[in-house]
Chains A and B, each alone.
Chain A
């Protein structure tokens, strides 16, 4: 009786069979959810990393600018195209309002991404794979990605970062083998139309 105090003996009232069963089932489900998350860390292949470093935006910018020319193979729409070797570090920069550089990765190889922003919060949203991570100024988020399919992928910004937020996109190409990187090198070295 929700408007009056409960009836005499309410505290001792035994729990009905259906309510008791439901609470038991619900409890088991809740426990399983917790165990499942831990289990996925052991058996699953998609887990957010626990590695991140504090880094001043200026320092990250230096790392990024020093790294880009090292593996640059050309330029697309005014954005450098970079093909880092497998198992190397990738400094993908989020800045109002661009993702830089364009990346060329190889399928099945692992790359250590360092995601960081130099101004506001940004959202790294890889489409159409649909993987989403937050990008902060002041933090280097270390995520080791292994692309499992080839193709062209777009990085959308999905954290509001000011009036140009909806113009902030980037690109990732995933190729089958190192040989295919050469095709892309020719394509992006050619003078832009």
Chain B
């Protein structure tokens, strides 16, 4: 391979050396992410207006088509493009180090873009109405699977470039002895990504061959098992990357430092070690696998990946609290929170994401992921309600939040529309929270997900869901529309800033300040470093126990089954 000397610029804001070629790759992937997100948001709008049957906008065929489009773009393209940008950022700029192989980086980008275009073209031309999961023997056009494979391949190359960058930085000794926590979290995400993408290859390659007629048959059970080896750990990549960004945001906005780096790192390690057979969460009410297999593989004797999230759920707010207390906001339990920089959209987005991820996504995730309670939620609207909490309110909002720093730092532009930017996280968070909670409520009533007509107007037997569903559908629509508005505001701000924003001239142009870290000198042994956070985590625990009790009570009221 030909050696290309990196061209650096010195960032006057952070003092870091920035490799220009790496920076261009970060920009390209970030732009692709926003394009995919726009498609997902337009899809979301159409879906909300269809499932809210007062409007019932799309015809059935187009509903399932747009549902496929929305799922693939929101859960795969948007997030993975953004994560690749994040991986490159964390392994070059943060480490003060060059991009290891820019040409390969562009090759990977080409593959992902080709996959992105091909997949979307196949969906929109009506040749892949199979929803994101494409459960066999449901069959799409071979080019649909090829599109996904190309994308996954490009993503895999991107992940390996991240490892290459780490190696280059380590050899050159650009960052000292230990990786910064942010990059460490990204490394965890990257390792999970390898496991995930390999699972993806194991299932999509035979599926492609089957769709081409080369393989005569694929087992439906095997497909679902291996597909979720891609589908579920993919969400763990998101969680890991999201938490890494939480630590970054806490640092940038208030100068927060993990109260115990060892614990935070162990928690990332738990993500890598205990998520591998997460596909079990999707087979809890399926034939072919036994209860022993299900109970063991969803929990590995205890929920260690859940434990990891619970650790971060304390550690991140605690880092904010400790920094605020060191700054003098020590009155009572919550002065640190009241005096926090709420006007900083990155801060508000991060805090709202932590709350939403924990209280909505986390609680439902754990309870729905238990073998027996899954009976009363499987394939109801409660399931997308759960992952609106994790991947939308959690990951997406977190990624939105951090862009308010990344645009000036990476794109060298000022933020256009800062006033709207301050409102945007709130619009999106309240919208998605309302949407998710109403979906969870509809799920309790048994309303199916992925369903065009729950009035069953053309079915042989009609069924009417309880009247309270009508109210929940209105809240669903309100929340959905508000969230779409919040998402479009973010896209508007990003596009306006990146393409038309005034160029950043120097550190004084930085729209949001980078907080100076405050390090407490005295020892933390035997002390409370974050009493406010501790109380909040206990509130979380009580909420969890209430929802736990409710769900098992509802389960106990159903028919007996064994």
Residues of A within 8 A of B (CB): 1-7, 10-11, 13-19, 21-23, 25-27, 29-31, 33-34, 36-38, 40-41, 44-50, 52, 77-79, 98, 110, 115, 119-121, 123, 125-134, 136-141, 143-149, 154, 156-163, 165-171
Q: Which residues of the other chain, B, contact A141 by a CB distance below 8 angstroms? A: 286-287
Task: Tell yes or no: B177 within 8 A of A by CB.
Answer: yes
Which residues of chain B from 308 to 338 have a CB within 8 Å of any chain A CB?
A: 310-311, 314-315, 318
Minimum CB distance partner of A78 in chain B: B460
Are B461 and A77 in touch, CB under 8 angstroms? yes
A34 to chain B, nearest CB (A): 5
Task: Tell yes or no: B29 within 8 A of A by CB.
Answer: no
Are A160 and B303 in touch, CB under 8 angstroms? no
Minimum CB distance partner of B372 in chain A: A40
Q: A6-B261, A98-B460 are contacts. A145–B287 as well, Cβ < 8 Å?
A: no
Minimum CB distance partner of B460 in chain A: A77
Q: Which residues of the other chain, A, contact B14 by a CB distance below 8 angstroms? A: 3
Main secondary structure of the interface of B (DSSP, over half): loop
Q: A34-B299, A50-B290, A52-B287 are contacts. A127–B220 as well, Cβ < 8 Å?
A: no
Minimum CB distance partner of A155 in chain B: B461
Q: Which residues of the other chain, A, contact B558 by a CB distance below 8 angstroms? A: 46, 129-131, 148
Minimum CB distance partner of A40 in chain B: B372
Q: A18-B531, A48-B291, A139-B287 are contacts. A31–B449 as well, Cβ < 8 Å?
A: no
Are B175 and A125 in touch, CB under 8 angstroms? no
Q: Which residues of the other chain, B, contact A168 by a CB distance below 8 angstroms? A: 459
CA distance in complex: A77, B459 (Å): 10
A17 to chain B, nearest CB (A): 5
Are A30 and B452 in touch, CB under 8 angstroms? no
Q: Which residues of the other chain, A, contact B530 by a CB distance below 8 angstroms? A: 16, 18-19
Task: Tell yes or no: B468 within 8 A of A by CB.
Answer: no
B313 to chain A, nearest CB (A): 9
Q: Which residues of the other chain, A, contact B204 by a CB distance below 8 angstroms? A: none
Q: Which residues of the other chain, B, contact A38 by a CB distance below 8 angstroms? A: 295
CA distance in complex: A148, B557 (Å): 9
Are B559 and A48 in touch, CB under 8 angstroms? no
Are A33 and B370 in touch, CB under 8 angstroms? yes
Are B314 and A19 in touch, CB under 8 angstroms? yes
CA distance in complex: A136, B180 (Å): 47
Task: Tell yes or no: B257 within 8 A of A by CB.
Answer: yes
Are B291 and A34 in touch, CB under 8 angstroms? no
Which residues of chain B from 133 to 188 have a CB within 8 Å of any chain A CB?
A: 135, 137-138, 175-182
Task: Tell yes or no: B212 within 8 A of A by CB.
Answer: no
CA distance in complex: A16, B456 (Å): 57
Are B180 and A5 in touch, CB under 8 angstroms? yes
* Interface size counted on chain B using CB atoms at 8 A: 112
CA distance in complex: A37, B378 (Å): 17
Contact with A along B281-317 (1 / 0, CB 8 A): 0011111101110110001011110110011001100
CA distance in complex: A73, B244 (Å): 63
Q: Which residues of the other chain, A, contact B452 by a CB distance below 8 angstroms? A: 165-166
Are B286 and A41 in touch, CB under 8 angstroms? no
Q: Which residues of the other chain, A, contact B458 by a CB distance below 8 angstroms? A: 166-167
Are A2 and B180 in touch, CB under 8 angstroms? yes
Q: A3-B248, A19-B318, A45-B556 are contacts. A119–B137 as well, Cβ < 8 Å?
A: yes
CA distance in complex: A157, B125 (Å): 26
Q: Which residues of the other chain, A, contact B461 by a CB distance below 8 angstroms? A: 77, 154, 169-171
CA distance in complex: A154, B315 (Å): 47
Are A36 and B263 in touch, CB under 8 angstroms? no
Contact with A along B521-562 (1 / 0, CB 8 A): 001111111110110010001001000000000111011111
Q: Which residues of the other chain, A, contact B562 by a CB distance below 8 angstroms? A: 45, 47, 49, 143-144
B169 to chain A, nearest CB (A): 11
Are A129 and B559 in touch, CB under 8 angstroms? yes
Q: Which residues of the other chain, B, contact A110 by a CB distance below 8 angstroms? A: 560
Q: Which residues of the other chain, B, contact A134 by a CB distance below 8 angstroms? A: 283, 285-287, 378-379
CA distance in complex: A148, B459 (Å): 26
